[in-house]
Structure 1
Amino acid sequence: MRKIIVTEFITLDGVIEAPGGNETSHPHAGWQFKYHSPDTGKYKIDELSSVDTLLLGKTTYEVFAAYWPGQTGDGFADPINRMPKYVVSRSLQKVDWNNSHILRDVAKDVAALKKSDGGDILVYGSATLVKALLHHDLIDELRLMVYPLSIGGGLRLFDDNRELKKFGLKHSRAIDNGVLILEYQPIS
């Protein structure tokens, strides 16, 4: 069975909103760029090269589809443009980015995708989708790049829904710029 791996940039206060700068109108958008390093860049390229499929929520898909098709490069752009992309959305009617497909139901369609042939599946951002994946116990690995800053508010990965989820630490690494890479696996 394929694994679903969720990867997130996250602040110390748990915010995942607008790390790249143009996703939303958050007043501190682009917060993760101040901490760029060769180590974090290599980690993200290695992470992408370890999977063969992307799973995205509608908003992340739209941001990616507006940017990545016009980019080239061996490390990130070429693989992301080439690989299959599944977007979970009830409202999208069509997707134009190369090799993209629409899934309508998280519980049914994503579970079927996990059981299909192929390599592991990577989820970038996609907070609403990730919350649904967590709820349905469809995540096999949670990778957090924790940035040493607080931005006071915004979209969070974990809401106050009172749902208990336990995780075991698989791997941790501290980068010289203060970023922590934490890889977790759910515990039943």
Structure 2
Amino acid sequence: MGKITASIYLSLDGIMEEPGLWHMPYWDDEMANFQRDVFYGTDALLLGRVTYEGFAAAWPKMKGEGADEMNAMPKYVATTTLVEPQWNASFIKNNIAQEVTKLKQETDQQFLIYGSGQLIRTLMEHNLIDEYRFMVHPVVLGKGKRLFTEQGQRSLKLVGVKTTTTGVALLSYQPSE
């Protein structure tokens, strides 16, 4: 059975929106290694539409470590609006949870979600995420899109913790159920 890992940049107050505007001052080798470990253990990406559009606009132009792998990797995109898949993508248009469940059951692939808050919340509601990799930055943003909204209580089990030299907590959790 396939597994899904969600890799998420967060502020201390749970904001995940536009990390490119606030996370770079905290980037260091430890964060790079944390991200590299999850990326190179991945077979395919699961993305929401907004994250997919941002990545598809940027990654094909990139060179260097990870660019070829990212561009070649299959991408499954949750969208109701996009019609022409590009950048090695397939669209999931209806019943996201059901389609992702089917993907997990039909393969042993390791799926990775970057960003994509709405997709993560949908999959979380259906207990489809196997691991969460949070990079909690020492910054309070005060406003923006939150990862956790009013979904009800969730219990997670801490399976890894490290603090970077820049003060970012690298936390790995799995569902406790």
The alignment's TM-score, normalised by the length of structure 2, stands at 0.96
| 1:90 aligned partner, one-letter code | T
1:92 to 66, 77, 82: 82
Partner of 1:168: 157
Matches of 1:111 and 1:135, distance apart in 2: 12
| 2:137 aligned partner, one-letter code | Y
Matches of 2:48 and 2:35, distance apart in 1: 19
Correspondence list, 1:58-137, <5 A: 58-73=49-64, 75-97=65-87, 99-104=88-93, 105-137=95-127
Matches of 2:169 and 2:35, distance apart in 1: 13
Matches of 1:4 and 1:42, distance apart in 2: 19
Shift of 1:88: 0.6
**Maintained 8 Å contact 1:52/1:118:** no
The alignment of Structure 1 onto Structure 2 pairs a total of residues equal to: 176
Partner of 1:26: none
The alignment's TM-score, normalised by the length of structure 1, stands at 0.90
Matches of 1:185 and 1:43, distance apart in 2: 16
Q: Say which structure, 1 or 2, has more relative contact order (CA 8 Å, 6+ apart).
A: 2
Structure 2 unpaired stretches of 5+: none
